Chain A
């Protein structure tokens, strides 16, 4: 059986001088931090650089980690900040809005497809589906992409997501719902095309 990780004890030890232990502390989070950076920066080299920078910042600022959030959540918020500032720098011409769109409460019509009770396995296995999904997620406006990634990909709780993003719990819920509906609207018709054998009905 693996030894249980006591992250707060590890952090205390690191701050007391056992800096090497930081290597161990971050190992379980490497994939998550990189995946998140990639999802925002859409480029492997930038994502790797941002991920490294996020870990270095976490190391340098470890003393300011208060322990009221989990270490993993804190790391996520550092990664988000790093990704955001890079997006601002990189896309300073075509800047993505970090503000809440005015129509956040607005309704957009979902796409309709019937008889999609289960995904046929042959469709699931297809690379196209993965590609479409990744494309659709990266096409989400930043504020929705952040929430969707944290909740539905990384499976952070509503509270952790709110903490990591510094937004309210109700904003997390509203944005997550909007993100899912946008993905549904965008993806359902495309996925329909990938499985033409099934009976589909188009919206309207």
Chain B
């Protein structure tokens, strides 16, 4: 079965997450082989996810931890009294 571009777009997330059922995966795969538009969209979406992964390297504001634990300590002290 041949599927159209807009149907492929509906499956881009599933394709990237590898959660497509085998028959759909095969249709999408076939389409991607000959459709430059869809493979470009797939690539750019994947690249955005790669960039997003960089977001995980995240610096906490200076002193964040210290202030948090100080507030907690206060809470715990309050509870004990």
Contacts of A26 in B (CB 8 A): 72
* Interface assignment of A96: CB less than 8 Å from any CB of chain B: no
State which residues 131-168 of A face B: CB under 8 Å.
133-134, 137, 152-155
* Interface assignment of A41: CB less than 8 Å from any CB of chain B: no
Interface size on B, residues (CB 8 A): 39
Q: A177 touching B12 by the CB < 8 A rule? A: yes
Q: How far is the CA of A59 from the CA of B74 in the complex (A)?
A: 12
* Interface assignment of A111: CB less than 8 Å from any CB of chain B: yes
Which of B48, B65, B79 has most A Cβ within 10 Å? B48
Which of A30, A107, A152, A201 has most B Cβ within 10 Å? A152
| Residue of chain B at shortest CB distance from A189 | B44
Q: B40 touching A112 by the CB < 8 A rule? A: yes
Q: A133 touching B71 by the CB < 8 A rule? A: no
Q: B56 touching A153 by the CB < 8 A rule? A: yes
Contacts of A87 in B (CB 8 A): none
Q: A184 touching B44 by the CB < 8 A rule? A: yes
